[in-house]
Chains A and B, each alone.
Chain A
């Protein structure tokens, strides 16, 4: 194939792909437009937002000022503190969750026997329990353990989820068992196999699990609202809910708050997206 031929070939391919491009551009426009709208709204006054202005305005500094004031008044500290709380809780939940769930996925798949498979099937049932039903019993439990208003109350119900275990379990099927045997003969303990072999190999699964868990923890509202009752532990979701409540709502400020609320989750996906796509590969085999 000459250089020339290749070029015409690829330009022919690109030509054939034009409908695909158009379709994708339309889909992306629909996907991204509301986010664009959120960005413009954050720079406008409330009146401009509710009258449907969809271009960037000049009120962003003013909105930011109000947002900082509201955050400081509501949390007793600052917007930074509220953001930090959200990061800390979501981060703690993510790290502990992927650790515990990967450990379980490792145990369920690489040491699997009939009993473990049966147990796993039972655990899957927990996926189907409606959250509303367990709110009161869980709250009572947290209260009995004196964990209310601590980070433990925030993450305990969310760190072991059947879905995460399933993801690690399925992904573990790609794990080279032979190497494990070799390591055992070398005298590596089971724990060391997990830490020194399993964890590095499963890097991308960890990335995918981290994205999903962080997203869920970051966006959690109902449960944190119930158990994190003091101002010092306010999260971004609570702040935004406060901005959206009341008789008069300032939409510019609200959208700026929402923007701060959305950036971390989008950023994390953006950073980890390559591993994310690889990471769930195994889960769907």
Chain B
């Protein structure tokens, strides 16, 4: 009722202004003697109200499309996810020639998250696209808080082709809501030419302990001047990936598990030691991480989700010298981790749920168009599949010259299946920030135990309401 009154009042205001504008231009016209600038302003007023009403008609289109064969999708990154979606569109058009996928590009994953939040808060889902790309770490929270924003897939994909870790994000109470797209499997890549200068081979860095890694990295740094790893410290994923490689989590039974977690403490110590030795560069932000440290040729090692590969390839001078291997661990066993990755979800605004499900299962979900989709996604966007069978394609098994002839893509798909599922939390990114701060403070000389306790109490404070 209040809302109605409000909109009525607003409509009144609009009417008054519109009348005023019209009245203005009318009187100026009839009198004909008004000062020219008054006339101009009044005319401009009238002009703009005409313009805006025309505009309203033009953009009456909402998030979804009226065309029965058109789906809309919101996604970010024109060099990564969007080529993958275009690849899927092309593949699906072979069986459904009238099909069209309208891609709405947004600047970052947070844009999609905010759109869901705003839709959920207002109860107005009409602005949402049929499908959204959504990052894995957040989807659980958004499923719980805004259950009305989603609808389950109506068709089953070849779920056996995906790892449990990946499906654990997009499945709720046994129902599949999301279709996985990219593989977040982490790679640890080294520059063989630089390792050689220091007297090492890649084998010396495979299946080793972090202590040994630190020791050898120091030698590399002294002999060649290269650091062995860098990370965007503004969104520091190192602790998470290193923990996952151990099969450990910073969470236990829904609560943060930092104080008394020896694995966690040891890992922080490794990072701090590396930063102090200069073997790990903690960059201030994303662009410094990619442009200065990786493309700017400061590091002989890259450890991150495999989506970092297109960035590495921009440093063309290093081509042919990179090799991908597994992650060191505290115990020395070979470690596997994943970082990043997102899946496609059908929103409740989609009136063509069957078409959406059919499209997703046919392409990303292991249907007949899967190989074509994933091959083209790899070629055009560098998107690596997390669908196991896609890794068997010819393209995936072609040696990559940048990695010295290694069949790196098949290896990554293979590695992805070894990633252990560890406890996740809706507060993943909150904790990431706090742990990043913790590392900064310890590097600056603060006591590690006090800082861990501080981070623990901060995250508990954040989680309570």
A-side residues, CB < 8 A to B, are 47, 50-51, 70, 73-74, 76, 88, 91-92, 95-96, 99-100, 103, 136, 139-141, 143-145, 148-152, 156, 191-192, 195-196, 199-200, 203, 206, 225-226, 228-233, 238, 241-242, 244-249
> Across the interface, which residues of A come within 8 angstroms of B287, CB to CB?
50, 249
B-side residues, CB < 8 A to A, are 3, 6-7, 10, 14, 17, 20-21, 23-24, 27-28, 31, 34-38, 41-42, 44-45, 48, 51-52, 55-56, 58-63, 76-80, 82, 102-108, 111, 114-115, 118, 121-124, 126-128, 287, 290-292, 295-296, 307-308, 310-311, 314
Contact of B78 among A74, A149, A151 (CB under 8 A): A74
Closest to A240 in B: B107
Cβ contact within 8 Å between A230 and B122:
no
Contact of B7 among A145, A242, A244 (CB under 8 A): A145
Closest to A66 in B: B78
The SS class assigned to the B binding surface is: helix
Cβ contact within 8 Å between B21 and A99:
yes
Cβ contact within 8 Å between B295 and A47:
yes
CA–CA, A143 to B307, complex, Å? 37
Cβ contact within 8 Å between B41 and A206:
yes
CA–CA, A191 to B314, complex, Å? 65
> Across the interface, which residues of B come within 8 angstroms of A51, CB to CB?
296
CA–CA, A229 to B105, complex, Å? 10
> Across the interface, which residues of A come within 8 angstroms of B3, CB to CB?
141, 144
Cβ contact within 8 Å between A231 and B104:
yes
Contact of B45 among A95, A136, A140, A247 (CB under 8 A): A95
Tell me whether A99 and B38 are in contact in the complex, defined as CB-CB below 8 angstroms, given that A225-B111, A245-B76, A246-B76 are known contacts. Answer: no
Most buried by B among A100, A139, A203, A244: A139
Give B259 Cβ to nearest chain A Cβ, in Å.
33
> Across the interface, which residues of A come within 8 angstroms of B80, CB to CB?
246-248
Contact of A74 among B52, B105, B108, B127 (CB under 8 A): B105
Give A132 Cβ to nearest chain B Cβ, in Å.
12
Contact of B79 among A141, A191, A196, A248 (CB under 8 A): A248
Give B9 Cβ to nearest chain A Cβ, in Å.
11
Cβ contact within 8 Å between A246 and B62:
no
> Across the interface, which residues of B come within 8 angstroms of A103, CB to CB?
20
CA–CA, A51 to B23, complex, Å? 59
CA–CA, A103 to B42, complex, Å? 13
> Across the interface, which residues of B come within 8 angstroms of A73, CB to CB?
78, 82, 103, 105
Cβ contact within 8 Å between A230 and B121:
no
CA–CA, A244 to B79, complex, Å? 12
Contact of A151 among B36, B52, B115 (CB under 8 A): B52
Complex A-B, nearest 6 residue pairs according to Cβ-Cβ distance, in ascending order: A200-B35, A143-B124, A245-B107, A241-B107, A246-B77, A140-B122
CA–CA, A76 to B59, complex, Å? 13
Tell me whether A195 and B42 are in contact in the complex, defined as CB-CB below 8 angstroms, given that A50-B296, A88-B55, A148-B124 are known contacts. Answer: yes
CA–CA, A274 to B291, complex, Å? 43
Tell me whether A139 and B121 are in contact in the complex, defined as CB-CB below 8 angstroms, given that A91-B48, A144-B7, A230-B104 are known contacts. Answer: yes
CA–CA, A139 to B115, complex, Å? 11
Cβ contact within 8 Å between A76 and B20:
no
CA–CA, A242 to B126, complex, Å? 23
Cβ contact within 8 Å between B114 and A226:
yes
Contact of B106 among A50, A76, A242, A247 (CB under 8 A): A242
Cβ contact within 8 Å between A143 and B122:
yes
Cβ contact within 8 Å between A149 and B62:
yes
27 pairs of residues in contact across A and B, judged by CB atoms under 8 Å:
A50-B287, A50-B295, A70-B78, A74-B105, A92-B52, A95-B41, A99-B20, A136-B118, A140-B123, A143-B123, A148-B124, A150-B55, A195-B42, A196-B35, A199-B35, A230-B61, A230-B104, A232-B61, A238-B107, A242-B105, A245-B107, A245-B108, A246-B77, A247-B79, A247-B80, A247-B308, A248-B290
Closest to A69 in B: B78
> Across the interface, which residues of B come within 8 angstroms of A196, CB to CB?
28, 31, 34-35, 38
Cβ contact within 8 Å between B314 and A248:
yes
> Across the interface, which residues of A come within 8 angstroms of B308, CB to CB?
247
Tell me whether A195 and B28 are in contact in the complex, defined as CB-CB below 8 angstroms, given that A50-B292, A96-B45, A245-B108 are known contacts. Answer: yes
Cβ contact within 8 Å between A203 and B37:
yes
> Across the interface, which residues of A come within 8 angstroms of B35, CB to CB?
196, 199-200
> Across the interface, which residues of A come within 8 angstroms of B45, CB to CB?
95-96, 99
> Across the interface, which residues of B come within 8 angstroms of A203, CB to CB?
37
> Across the interface, which residues of B come within 8 angstroms of A151, CB to CB?
52, 55-56, 59
Give A216 Cβ to nearest chain B Cβ, in Å.
17
CA–CA, A139 to B106, complex, Å? 19
CA–CA, A96 to B128, complex, Å? 29
Contact of B107 among A206, A229, A242 (CB under 8 A): A242
> Across the interface, which residues of A come within 8 angstroms of B115, CB to CB?
226, 229
CA–CA, A262 to B425, complex, Å? 42
Closest to B82 in A: A73
Name 10 extra pairs, CB < 8 A, besides A50-B292, A139-B118: A50-B291, A74-B78, A92-B52, A99-B21, A206-B41, A226-B115, A228-B59, A245-B107, A246-B78, A247-B310
> Across the interface, which residues of A come within 8 angstroms of B107, CB to CB?
238, 241-242, 244-245
Cβ contact within 8 Å between A247 and B59:
no
> Across the interface, which residues of B come within 8 angstroms of A95, CB to CB?
41, 44-45, 48
> Across the interface, which residues of A come within 8 angstroms of B79, CB to CB?
246-248
Cβ contact within 8 Å between B121 and A136:
yes
> Across the interface, which residues of A come within 8 angstroms of B42, CB to CB?
195, 199
Cβ contact within 8 Å between B56 and A152:
yes
Give A69 Cβ to nearest chain B Cβ, in Å.
9
Contact of A149 among B21, B31, B127 (CB under 8 A): B127
> Across the interface, which residues of A come within 8 angstroms of B311, CB to CB?
247-248
CA–CA, A203 to B37, complex, Å? 7
CA–CA, A258 to B454, complex, Å? 41
Closest to A196 in B: B34
> Across the interface, which residues of B come within 8 angstroms of A230, CB to CB?
59, 61-63, 104, 127
Cβ contact within 8 Å between B27 and A150:
no
> Across the interface, which residues of A come within 8 angstroms of B103, CB to CB?
73
Cβ contact within 8 Å between B59 and A96:
no
Give A223 Cβ to nearest chain B Cβ, in Å.
11
Give B367 Cβ to nearest chain A Cβ, in Å.
26
Cβ contact within 8 Å between A141 and B6:
yes
> Across the interface, which residues of A come within 8 angstroms of B14, CB to CB?
152
CA–CA, A241 to B7, complex, Å? 32
CA–CA, A156 to B7, complex, Å? 12
Cβ contact within 8 Å between A99 and B118:
no
CA–CA, A148 to B122, complex, Å? 11
Closest to A148 in B: B127
